[in-house]
Amino acid sequence: MSARSGTARRDEALLALADGAVFEGEAIGALPDGGVATGEAVFNTVLSGYQEVITDPSYAGQVIAFTYPHIGNYGVNPTDDEAARPHCRGIIVRDLADRPSNWRSTGSLEEFLIRFSVPGITGVDTRRLTRHLRDRGAMSCAFGTSGEADLLAAARAALPIDRVDLVSEVTTASMVTRGTGPYRVVAYDFGIKEAMVRQLGEMATVTIVPASTPAAQVLGMEPDGVFLSNGPGDPSGLAAVIDQIRVLVEDGTVPVFGICLGHQLLATALGASTYKLPFGHHGGNHPVKRLSTGRVEITSQNHNYAVAEGSLTSSEITHVNLNDGVIEGLANTDAPVFSVQYHPEAGPGPHDARYLFEEFRALMDATGARARAESLRDGVG
């Protein structure tokens, strides 16, 4: 990527989809090498929280189209980063604000994009684009200042992200310890967000480990609980990870809590199957029903794959999406494990589902008390 000033006159650009649709716009952010950037085009419906979305590692391999028309109007600041840098392939917006206005702002969104070599395109008819992706499904795209023929060819040649291990691109290279709470939690980093680490860190000392960490090593740390994070891509491309999660479940002594990709991987380890949604769930306004109470939660979501209904045999469904019936939560009947498809850490909001972190705490309490009772009974015997 080449750099340029965020105040420079913008070059004309095009967005081409693999099915031949073309959209006009102007180049923003870092200019892609050769005038072409590629990725899988998806749309997100949040009204705010664009910085959290852009820095969510779950978007590795994808180009994010924002349905809200005005993006960048309150600028950016380091507190809102969900990762050290963005992993998305680019962004698509209708109108990028040139002059941010907010007391928390430390710079403009375009300056942020340039700093981290993220290309983008503005001036796109995102209403038309969203309707197109909703009707045709998420697909490969190419955008930039190159000619239409080159962009169409690049979009059609772009490799799909199905069955690709994108987690290895975003996971930590070494163990990291965060938090000061009294519990001990080991968190698998499949693309973990800062908001998740903050939530866990309030209750536990959190050891964040690479995605490839063996289950035996995790159990050897004697944690009170294990956390399976969010992350990018297709769970079926992570067979080795699924095998290690299966070991944790079969051990049955340590509570396991999964979110998003962690939910899909846990379900797969329990014998379920997953499938790709037509255009995924990306936004902060998805209604989810908690089946045990009938309560409806408005949730933040970001995923392209889902657990197939009917494939869960040893677990119960705890939550469902009221828009399309997708499984949004599960709890195993034989081991202290549960997971949800959506994002209770709410980065960005809403906060309706943050109680799930308290449920994880309660499960660690209950399992720990049970283990102590069994140890005392064995000692007396």
For the annotated catalytic residues, the residue numbers are 260, 343, 345
In angstroms, rounded to a whole number, what is the distance separating the alpha carbons of residues 49 and 119?
19
* C-alpha dihedral (284, 286, 290, 291), degrees to nearest 10: -170
Which helix H or strand E contains 111, and what residues bound it? Answer: helix 109-115
φ/ψ of 129, rounded to 5, equals -60, -45
Q: What is the DSSP string of 22-85?
A: EEEEEEEESBPGGG-EEEEEEEE--SS-HHHHHT-GGGTTEEEEESSSEESTT-B-GGG-SSSS
CA distance 288 to 326: 9
- CA angle 78–79–83, rounded 5-degree value: 70
The partner residues of 141 in beta bridges, in order of sequence, read 17, 39
3-state secondary structure at position 199: helix
Tokens of 44: 């997100």
CA distance 88 to 324: 26
